[in-house]
């Protein structure tokens, strides 16, 4: 059976916030301890069933460095969904969320999106409170706010499942 819904998802966020890790955890149920910066982009697909619906997520993981801005702009065309991510142990990544939001608005045609705070397994190094994340999500009109850990597989599947429900509603 062909998917009843297809979503092209773009990931936005600073380098090293865990974009690749969260996608690898979700699609392949794997986590790599060794950090390798994404050079260019990776595309992964995950098909899920949700009731009578079959949903295809085509996920574009583009390097977070500034040098990939044009690539991000190019691949954001036609995207109807996005994830904006930050790392709870990196205040700068949180402070840059508004810039990523502005890129999303500029590069996509009203893509629906959620905000993800990653690396909650590093609670003892937290620099950004849950409340700050929730407030920012409201401020930028995110359709959801989630705290995850790709490493410990905390809330990863639930984040994507909830996003799927939001997208098809």
Task: Read off the pLDDT of residues 43-61 as tens digits, 9 standing for 90 and up.
Answer: 899 999 999 999 999 999 8
Domain range annotation of the chain? 5-168
What is the architecture of the domain spanning 5-168?
Answer: 3-Layer(aba) Sandwich (3.40)
Q: What is the pTM of this model?
A: 0.91
- At residue 74 the predicted structure's pLDDT band, cuts being 50, 70 and 90, is confident
Mean pLDDT confidence for 131-135: 99
Distance CA 1, CA 9 (A): 21
- At residue 35 the predicted structure's pLDDT band, cuts being 50, 70 and 90, is low
pLDDT on residue 77: 84
Mean pLDDT confidence for 147-155: 97
pLDDT on residue 67: 58
Q: Where are the beta strands (DSSP E) in 63-151?
A: 81-87, 112-118, 145-147
pLDDT on residue 40: 60
Cα–Cα distance list, 39 to 21, 63, 92 (Å): 14, 6, 21
What number of CA atoms fall less than 13 Å from residue 117's CA on the CB side?
A: 27
Is 150 a residue whose pLDDT tops 80?
yes
């Amino acid at each position: 059976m062909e998917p009843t819904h297809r979503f092209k998802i773009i990931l936005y966020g600073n380098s090293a916030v865990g974009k690749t890790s969260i996608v690898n955890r979700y699609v392949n149920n794997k986590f790599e301890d060794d950090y390798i910066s994404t050079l260019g982009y990776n595309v992964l697909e995950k098909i899920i069933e949700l009731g009578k619906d079959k949903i295809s997520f085509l996920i574009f993981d583009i390097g977070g460095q500034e040098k990939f801005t044009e690539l991000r702009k190019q691949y954001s065309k036609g995207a109807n969904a996005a994830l904006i991510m930050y790392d709870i142990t990196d205040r700068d990544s949180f402070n840059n969320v508004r810039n990523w939001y502005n890129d999303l608005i500029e590069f996509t045609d009203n893509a629906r999106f959620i905000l993800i705070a990653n690396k909650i397994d590093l609670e003892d190094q937290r620099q950004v409170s849950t409340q700050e994340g929730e407030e920012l999500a409201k401020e930028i009109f995110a359709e959801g706010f989630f705290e995850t850990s790709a490493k410990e597989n905390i809330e990863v599947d639930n984040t994507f499942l909830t996003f799927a429900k939001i997208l098809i509603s």
